[in-house]
């Protein structure tokens, strides 16, 4: 199989299916919990790992013969520990809810590609704004229909004599960011170490769905929410909500993608500013029993600063006045009883930060928003699932009122820059699916010095304004 995308210069070299070793395969069915059903028709999560690779390994004949062979073999042996990733999400007519099913012969779609413009590799590594659609040529398609959906698809693209990248596309109803990262790290470890039969304890996935309790009947709540949303979006839809098709969201016209860095010094400066104005700005603390914190996490600091910069940029570029921020909270160690950290699937809850729609564009917006993010997280410590059933209708109501929603993808705690397949650490890691709406893509800084990498996709005019606002706000006192 060989075809070329003339707009990007990417030629398809081969398409294949990689499954676990045949001796390790058997029929398998894994239920979906309410944590999974929250994301049932959400757009796939897409991430790219870029690796520099000098000649001769990056010469096409050597790369596809030796490097890819090693990547394929290690992928197969990793999948013997992560069998559900090689299966499909299915929704048979006699089942009240979908589930993950693996059958012998199933596998992960792997696309091998070759770039005819090797110089583009450096362009992708650059943090400067570039056309947002360019990165999509490095991401594989994830199959989805009314009755079934793939869990994982991969694409490996070679930039001759420069390097290569691995594009990963995952169905959000099957796994969250923590689980996705654990799988990629496991694959990298197997590839680098050639330990094909065993995994490090940190990479051993736990699929036991009995650990997730649902006394409030949240499974039905989220299935019904998706059904109602489907009928609202498309009155002609005849699926009655029984569909696994992911909802596509068109890319905003003239969108560009860029990467920004908040160093540890930047974060400490922002924390100091926020805490020094804590009692002077904004409404009374919603969590009155909690005293003013002595410090703030990098997560809170980054989200407050970046979301305010985004809102002010969009406000100036598009005259939007109302904004809201949604955050995802890992629930594994917040549940009673707690769930082990290697639980594989979804175990995150989405919550809306309790801000006023105009908080983000106020002069002291960073302080106000930081206080409210911090207060929300403190409240969730006492009940991470409190109000989770209202998130769907709240978001729909906000959007109908013209509120611009902002979301978060990734985490600065995943350690993605430690993902070494045997040819060194990544030269860059990007979350590509942040272009589905206004989302803040988070990762730890590549230099490992405690900073945070921020990925954004915005209209080019808003991006120019964001660049100015972001850097002006980082001028040291």
DSSP of 275-318, one letter per residue? HHTTTTSSSPPSSTTSPPPS---HHHHHHHHHHHHHHHHHHHHH
Categorize the per-residue pLDDT at 23 as very low, low, confident or very high, splitting at 50, 70 and 90. low
| Residue 427 Ramachandran class (φ > 0 left, ψ -120 to 50 alpha, else beta) | alpha
pLDDT of 2 strictly over 60? no
* From 77-81, 203-207, 397-401, 437-441, the region with the lowest mean pLDDT: 397-401
In angstroms, how far is CA 290 from the centroid of its own chain?
31
Spatial neighbors of 65 by CB under 8 A, at least 6 apart, are none
* From 223-237, 310-324, 438-452, the region with the lowest mean pLDDT: 223-237
Find the length of the chain. 477
Position 285 scores a pLDDT of: 42
| pLDDT tens profile 434-451 | 999 999 999 999 999 999
Categorize the per-residue pLDDT at 284 as very low, low, confident or very high, splitting at 50, 70 and 90. very low
> Is the bond preceding residue 360 a cis peptide, omega within 30 degrees?
no
The count of C-alpha atoms lying within 13 angstroms of the C-alpha of 469, restricted to the half-sphere facing its C-beta, is: 23
CA atoms of 362 and 59, how far apart (whole Å): 53
pTM, rounded to two decimals: 0.95
The average pLDDT across 194-215 equals 91
pLDDT of 220 strictly over 90? yes
The average pLDDT across 168-194 equals 96
Position 3 scores a pLDDT of: 47
What φ, ψ does residue 378 adopt, rounded to 5°?
-60, -40
Number of C-beta neighbours around residue 386 at 10 A: 12
Position 235 scores a pLDDT of: 66
Catalytic residue among 5, 364, 420, 464: 420
Categorize the per-residue pLDDT at 170 as very low, low, confident or very high, splitting at 50, 70 and 90. very high
The alpha carbon dihedral of 182, 123, 254, 369 has a sign of positive
Kindly report the CA angle at 56 between 50 and 60, in degrees rounded to 5? 70
What is the DSSP-derived secondary structure letter of residue 96?
S
Task: For residue 347, give the 3-state DSSP assignment.
Answer: coil
Q: Is 157 exposed, middle or buried (0-12, 13-18, 19+ CB in 10 A)?
A: buried
Spatial neighbors of 130 by CB under 8 A, at least 6 apart, are 123, 124, 256, 257, 258
Residue 146 among the catalytic residues: no
> Is the bond preceding residue 445 a cis peptide, omega within 30 degrees?
no
Position 392 scores a pLDDT of: 85
pLDDT of 119 strictly over 70? yes
Catalytic residue among 13, 77, 81, 172: 172
Taken in order of first residue, the domains within the chain and their CATH numbers are 3-219 (3.30.559.10), 255-472 (3.30.559.10)
Closest by Cα among 379, 422, 13, 34 to 194: 422
Averaged pLDDT of the chain? 92
Spatial neighbors of 78 by CB under 8 A, at least 6 apart, are 183, 186, 187, 190, 199
Residue 420 among the catalytic residues: yes
CA atoms of 60 and 13, how far apart (whole Å): 10
The average pLDDT across 214-223 equals 93
* From 85-94, 141-150, 279-288, 455-464, the region with the lowest mean pLDDT: 279-288
Task: For residue 26, give the 3-state DSSP assignment.
Answer: coil
| pLDDT tens profile 338-356 | 999 999 999 999 999 999 9
CA atoms of 431 and 426, how far apart (whole Å): 13
């Amino acid at each position: 199989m060989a075809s070329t995308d003339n707009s990007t210069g990417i030629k398809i070299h081969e398409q294949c299916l990689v499954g676990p070793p045949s001796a390790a395969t058997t029929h398998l069915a894994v239920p979906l919990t309410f944590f999974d059903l929250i994301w049932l028709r959400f757009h796939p999560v897409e991430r790219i790992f870029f690796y520099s690779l000098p000649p001769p390994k990056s010469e096409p004949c050597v790369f596809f013969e030796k490097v890819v062979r090693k990547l394929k073999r290690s992928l197969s042996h990793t999948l013997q520990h992560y069998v559900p990733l090689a299966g499909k999400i299915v929704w048979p007519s006699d089942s009240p809810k979908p589930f993950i099913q693996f059958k012998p012969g199933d596998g992960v779609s792997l696309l091998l590609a070759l770039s005819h413009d090797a110089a583009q590799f450096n362009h992708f590594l650059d943090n400067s704004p570039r056309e947002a659609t360019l990165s999509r040529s490095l991401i594989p398609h994830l199959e989805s229909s009314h009755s079934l959906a793939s869990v994982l698809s991969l694409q490996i693209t070679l930039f001759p004599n420069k390097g290569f990248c691995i594009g990963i596309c995952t169905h959000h109803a099957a796994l969250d960011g923590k689980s996705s990262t654990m799988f990629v790290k496991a694959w990298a470890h197997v590839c680098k170490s050639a330990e094909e039969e065993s995994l490090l304890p940190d990479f051993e996935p736990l699929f036991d769905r009995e650990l997730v309790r649902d006394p409030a009947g949240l499974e039905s709540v989220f299935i019904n929410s998706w059904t109602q949303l489907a009928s609202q979006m498309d009155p002609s839809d005849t699926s009655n909500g029984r569909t696994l098709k992911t909802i596509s969201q068109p890319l905003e016209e003239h969108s560009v993608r860029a990467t920004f860095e908040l160093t540890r010094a930047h974060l400490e400066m922002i924390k100091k500013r926020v805490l020094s104005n804590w009692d002077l700005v904004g409404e009374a603390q919603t969590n009155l029993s909690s005293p003013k914190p002595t410090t703030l996490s990098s997560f809170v600091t980054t989200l407050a600063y970046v979301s305010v910069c985004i809102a002010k940029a969009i406000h100036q570029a598009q005259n939007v006045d109302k904004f809201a921020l949604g955050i995802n909270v890992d629930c594994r160690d917040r549940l009673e009883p707690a769930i082990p950290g290697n639980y594989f699937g979804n175990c995150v809850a989405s919550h809306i930060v309790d801000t006023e729609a105009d908080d983000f564009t106020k002069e002291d917006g960073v302080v106000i928003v930081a206080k409210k993010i911090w207060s929300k997280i403190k409240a969730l410590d006492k009940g991470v699932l409190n109000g989770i059933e209202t998130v769907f209708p709240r978001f729909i109501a906000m959007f109908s009122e013209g509120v611009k929603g902002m979301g978060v993808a990734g985490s600065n705690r995943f350690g993605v820059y430690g993902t070494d397949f045997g040819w060194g650490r990544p030269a860059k890691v990007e979350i590509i699916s942040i272009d589905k709406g206004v989302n803040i893509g988070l990762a730890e800084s590549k230099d490992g010095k405690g900073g945070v990498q921020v990925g954004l996709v915005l209209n080019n005019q808003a991006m120019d304004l964001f660049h100015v606002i972001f850097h002006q706000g980082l001028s040291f006192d």
